Amino acid sequence: MARFLVRRVIFAVLLVFISSSAALFLTRLAPGDLASALGPNPSGAEVAAARARFDLDRPAVEQWGLWMSRALRFDFGESLQYGRPVGPLVVRAAANSAVLGITALAVATLLGIGLGIFTGAQGLSGGLAPVVVRAFSVACLSLPPLVTSLILVFIAARTGWFPLGGMTTPGIVETAWGPWLADVAAHLPLPVIALALPVAATFERLQSQALGETLHLPFVAAASARGVSRRSAILHHAWPVSLRAICAIYGIVIGAVLSGSFVVEYVTAWPGLGRMMYEALRARDIYLVAGCAAMGASFLALGTLAGDLLLVAVDPRVREGVTE
Amino acid sequence: MRPARILRILLAAAAAAAFLYYIRGAMPGGGGGTREGVPYEGAKGAPSDDPSYVPQRGGQIIGSSRSQPRSFNRLLVRDQTSDTVIMLLQGRLVRINRATFEVEPWLAEKWDASADGLTYTFYLRPNLTWSDGAPFSSADVVFSLEAALDPKVESVIAHNMMAGGQPIRAEAPDANTVKFTLAGPSGPGVRLFDALPILPKHKLGAALAAGTLAEAWGPATPPSEIVGMGPFVLREYTPGQRLVFDRNPRYWRKDARGQQLPYLDRLVLEIVPEQNAELLRLQAGQTDLTHSELRAEDYVPIRKAEAEGKVRLVELGIGTDPDGFWFCMKPAVKAKDPRFRFVQKREFRQAISHAVDREEFAQTVFLGEAVPTWGPITTGNEPWFSPNVPRYPHDPARARELLKSIGLEDRNGNGVVEDEKGTEARFTVLTQRGITYYETGATVVRDYAKAVGIALDVVALEAPALFARLESCDYDAVYMRALMSDLDPGLSLDYWLSSGDAHLWNLASKTPATEWEKEIDRLMTEQASTIALARRKTIFNDVQRIFAENLPVLYFAAPRLYYGHSVRLRGVVPSVMRPQVLWNADMLSVADGAASKP
């Protein structure tokens, strides 16, 4: 187990290092820099001073070296747009993304696996309900998150059922914890639905197919022969085994969902990591882009670790391999 | 204990710690405990537009901003958001009224100017205090000028504080008097001092002395440290989310009834980077103000929302910064480009001007909400607009004649004119991606140019990439809006002078590239140092005429600007200049003031 964890930590460090360095280099190499953010008609001296302040007057490799030496001391540079250190900005945005991501993941997991068990257990001849669920899943998988988000925002604008966007109601400045949490919760449905629907559809399809295949394995037939009820055979015998398919992709899904969705966060104005990175990219806010990439990579590494641990928990064969 | 069990416990503990950390950090005010507060209740419907409406104290409004302030120190930044925020927080000696363009007394109640225009004496209002209660005096004004001119600060307004090629000097004969001495006369005169933010010496004096003023009042500065003479004080700034301003209880200004201003108790600026989302929030009654004027494509839905009583639409007037189309004409960069031979001939540019039907352009690009324009100064800038400049009516035949006169004809029958060496008049036009009227405008110009044999390929780029191309003159042509620094041409020398950083077609040239640019340089230098207004106008009319004859930048239409705000908002005095409504923030009030009191 110790070796497994050490391998994972090394993988995480490498992933963060490579992602943030690549983000820094690519942003630096993209055409344009901070000059467009300095306001109308900046003077040459003004632009030169701003470039010097952000080390943009140095060669890219030298700039990367300086940034990396500071990053090792947990100084990730200053954001051009925000005029603040990148670290706290990214942590805050990551926390907001995590709130959204964890909620969406929970919804997607419950919905996707629940419906997957239902359609998998019913098989192809289970009547109309599984067909409707399958069709809905395929529709959700086919719809890009941008379209889903826009449709939801449109519905919210027309009906007033949900807030239009953001994480809290505009204008609420001082409030106690309880109402504040309730306000955040009221703003969650829109981005959560947009984020959770395709993930839930993926889980439903995977779970359905895996369970369908597992139900045909001899040990399920043996359980039924021993007098175990069909419900128990599905839930206590077949389902845990079929979970391996979900666990195999769960880690990547966790990482992807937690590191923020550009589209969903932007359209629903959720102040998370995805939106921050998108805006940083547009503004060529080079250190903020690198910081967001590093945080996204950390989430991906954590997600992969969580997925592996889940696999360990559900599959004894993997557990034995890890603990050997 | 089994490793899997240990891991489960560790993960649970980490999750709990992360949740607690998040809750503490994300709570307004850092989660410092329970505090009282009443949420904003949204628009409650408008009272009738009663002219006898009496503004009430109290309430809050919610506006939106599309970006973050880059600093709270006006000496260091010039972007729109920072400028708006600083306008709410800081005071000036005089203010240019954004509706009338006239200079008004502000922290100075009056001033004298010497006959030679070299001395200005300002008399400050007595007994004023900063937002932290410290007394305001002439020493603060002298300090502010010193800070603006200090080379270590590298202030963006330093060039405004020059006259006759020398820095303006200030002295304080007494606590309520400031005397400015100029090395040479300045055309804009007292308007110069609208650009000078008055900073608190007691707060920033030490930073200036230590040479660290350039780092002072950055976005991470605690709000309580930012002290001003403006109508509001900063209460909270959450990056990426919002800025909260409370009324400055020590603000000096009162209304005609003697009521202390500002009327509002609180002003919140939510940061909403996307303009569509901003408009949706306005229509849904979640915000009262938007960041800037409406786009042409928004007119129809907002008019509909107005008819439904959801928003109020106000006409700001004709925009003062029309979209322009220009070629890079920097000889050092373009000398080897064979197309430069004809681009630098004014007949070529005049031909494009003749090719475009400006009335139809206004209809297509701005859905009819625009007027034809012939130069950078539109009818929106009434004091300086000259109607007597050469105009180029839509006349494709004349355009072809002009092209032929400089040797450009369609010799091979492919629809594009060439010179005698076979060089085609084919160019790439860059514009900014995502701004509909830029992309539509560039496309419409392309279609008109095609009709006279000039091929334009439109490419839309993200702003940083576009600005990088502009800076290095790495482009053929550009279609976009270039903002003038000021409505007074004497304060927009960066556009007019060949050495200017906003001399679009040939940025920051060491010497004028052409005779006519040399003449404009001479006239503008004289204009900026002439005191008599009539003479200044005469000179500037000449400049506009020369500009329109040579067309280094082609202008086609100036949009009629509209602004949408909530129906509960009162005291709006709209301006074509940004910020269109918040420039007058101390006079804004809400119809349901007491009901929406924060």
B494 and A CB contact within 8 Å:
yes
Q: Shortest Cα distance from A225 to chain B (angstroms)?
A: 33
Rounded CA-CA distance A124/B442 in Å is 56
pLDDT, tens only, A189-226: 999 999 999 999 999 999 999 998 888 888 888 888 88
Which amino acid, residue B10? Answer: L
Which of B8, B19, B22 to probe the A interface (max A CBs under 10 A)?
A: B22
Residue with tokens 């500009």: B547
B17 and A CB contact within 8 Å:
no
Nearest by CB to B501, from A43, A95, A179: name it: A43
Rounded CA-CA distance B7/A305 in Å is 11
pLDDT, tens only, A142-180: 888 888 888 888 888 888 888 888 888 877 777 788 888
Q: Which are the contacts of B330, defined by CB distance < 8 A and separation ≥ 6?
A: B473, B505, B506, B507, B509, B513
Of A72 and B361, more confident: B361
What's CA B544's distance to the chain center, in Å?
22
Cβ–Cβ gap A175/B482 under 8 Å? no
What's CA A161's distance to the chain center, in Å?
26
Percent of chain B at pLDDT exceeding 90 = 67
Task: Name the strand (E) or helix (H) holding B444.
Answer: helix B436-451
pLDDT at B112 over 90: yes
Cβ–Cβ gap B39/A271 under 8 Å? no
Of B17 and A105, more confident: A105
Pinpoint the alpha helices (H) of chain A: 2-29, 44-53, 60-71, 86-122, 128-142, 145-159, 177-187, 189-214, 218-225, 230-232, 239-258, 262-267, 273-282, 286-314, 316-323
pLDDT, tens only, B141-183: 999 999 999 999 888 888 889 998 899 999 999 999 999 999 9
Mean per-residue pLDDT, A95-110: 93
Q: Rounded to two decimals, what is the model's pTM?
A: 0.82
Task: Name the strand (E) or helix (H) holding B520.
Answer: helix B515-528
Percent of chain B at pLDDT exceeding 70 = 90
Cβ–Cβ gap B70/A81 under 8 Å? yes
Cβ–Cβ gap B78/A42 under 8 Å? yes
3-state secondary structure of A300: helix
Cβ–Cβ gap A282/B68 under 8 Å? no
Return mean pLDDT, chain B: 88
Of B103 and B594, more confident: B103
C-alpha triplet B416, B419, B420: angle, nearest 5°: 130
Q: Shortest Cα distance from A207 to chain B (angstroms)?
A: 24
pLDDT at B12 over 80: no
B26 and A CB contact within 8 Å:
yes
How high is the pLDDT of residue B76? Answer: 87
pLDDT, tens only, B447-506: 999 999 999 999 999 888 898 898 889 999 999 987 777 889 998 998 999 998 889 999
How high is the pLDDT of residue B31? Answer: 31
Rounded CA-CA distance B40/B42 in Å is 6
Cβ–Cβ gap A32/B464 under 8 Å? yes
Percent of chain A at pLDDT exceeding 90 = 35
Please tell me the least confidently modeled range out of A32-36, A137-141, B9-13. B9-13
pLDDT bucket at B44, cuts 50 / 70 / 90: very low
What are the backbone angles phi and psi of residue A284, rounded to the nearest 5°? 55, 40
How high is the pLDDT of residue B27? Answer: 39
B62 contact residues in A (CB cutoff 8 A)? 170-171
User: 382-441 in B: which are within 8 Å (CB) of A?
Assistant: none
pLDDT bucket at B30, cuts 50 / 70 / 90: very low
How high is the pLDDT of residue A320? Answer: 66
Joined together, the tokens standing for residue A275 give: 């939106």
Minimum Cα–Cα distance from A156: chain B residue: B284
Burial of A146 (0-12, 13-18, 19+ CB in 10 A): middle
Nearest by CB to B268, from A89, A170, A323: name it: A170
Cβ–Cβ gap B287/A170 under 8 Å? yes
B28 and A CB contact within 8 Å:
yes
Mean per-residue pLDDT, B115-130: 95
Mean per-residue pLDDT, B344-356: 97
Q: Shortest Cα distance from B485 to chain A (angstroms)?
A: 7
